[in-house]
């Protein structure tokens, strides 16, 4: 079954969030093509993933010391209720990620980086060996498509004065490729100058903002229609 894991990290509601608008457009387009059976939604802001605790770290270190441990064996290695609770919180998120053919994430830029809600999810799913086949060492996400839809209040495109302030894209690119996602299956869609309509100092950038949002909608539509794991790396500004 074709499957999509759709996650939003914006603290803003649907009416105020550009990333929520764009990921919803992607999801609607995708469901028109594939139906709703393979669709899974997670709102990381409304239903936050708990921060990892010392028990999570202790369990992770113990598992890592044993080399490649199948997920179904990790529960046997927990030591006490705290570690059991951490693994109960963690395993469903890992399984959800592994089951998805496409992962769609709405990521507003907060203080030049990603929201804490997304970082909490990243820290929890990145459990030792979770995305590696314990028998072969193969990366389990090598065929997974990841689409990152961002929104930035200013403009961080190449050649702009704030290009070097973008710690969002390089971080997520490094993270997902290290996790095993093939570079050609990792796509970024950026909506720039999203605050031009409500920050007086940015008002003269409204045309740029409108063009960027229109381009992002086109890119999202095109990506939603692609088969998972196909195409070359996409970077839309």
Q: Do 51 and 123 meet the contact criterion of CB atoms below 8 Å apart?
A: yes
Backbone angles phi, psi at 4, to 5 degrees: -135, 125
**Is 221 annotated as belonging to a binding site?**
no
Three-class HEC string of 193-224: CCCCCCCHHHHHHHHHHHHHHHHHHHHHHHHH
Q: Is the dihedral of CA 10, 11, 15, 16 positive or negative?
A: negative
**Is 10 annotated as belonging to a binding site?**
yes
**Is 58 annotated as belonging to a binding site?**
no
Helix (H) or strand (E) holding 148: strand 145-151
Secondary structure class of 17 (helix, strand, coil)? coil
Secondary structure class of 43 (helix, strand, coil)? strand
Lookup: tokens for 128:
């030792």
Binding site residue list for FMN: 10, 109-112
Binding site residue list: 10, 109-112
């Amino acid at each position: 079954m074709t499957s999509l894991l759709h996650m939003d990290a914006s603290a803003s509601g649907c009416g105020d969030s550009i990333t929520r608008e764009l990921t919803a457009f992607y999801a609607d387009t995708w469901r028109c093509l594939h139906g709703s059976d393979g669709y899974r939604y997670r709102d990381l802001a409304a239903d936050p993933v708990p921060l990892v605790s010392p028990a999570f770290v202790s369990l992770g270190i113990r598992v890592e010391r044993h080399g490649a441990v199948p997920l179904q064996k990790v529960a046997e290695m927990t030591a006490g209720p705290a570690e059991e609770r951490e693994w109960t919180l963690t395993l469903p998120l890992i399984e959800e990620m592994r089951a998805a053919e496409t992962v769609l994430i709405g990521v507003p830029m907060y203080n030049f980086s990603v929201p804490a809600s997304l970082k909490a999810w990243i820290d929890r799913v990145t459990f030792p060996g979770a995305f590696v086949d314990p028998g072969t060492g193969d990366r389990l996400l090598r065929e997974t498509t990841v689409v990152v839809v961002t929104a930035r209040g200013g403009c961080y495109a190449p050649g702009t004065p704030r290009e070097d302030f973008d710690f969002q894209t390089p971080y997520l690119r490094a993270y997902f490729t290290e996790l095993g996602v093939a570079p050609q299956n990792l796509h970024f869609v950026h909506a720039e100058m999203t605050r031009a309509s409500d920050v007086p100092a940015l008002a003269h950038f409204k045309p740029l903002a409108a063009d960027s949002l229109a381009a992002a909608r086109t890119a999202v539509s095109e990506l939603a229609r692609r088969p998972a794991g196909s195409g070359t790396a996409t970077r839309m500004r």
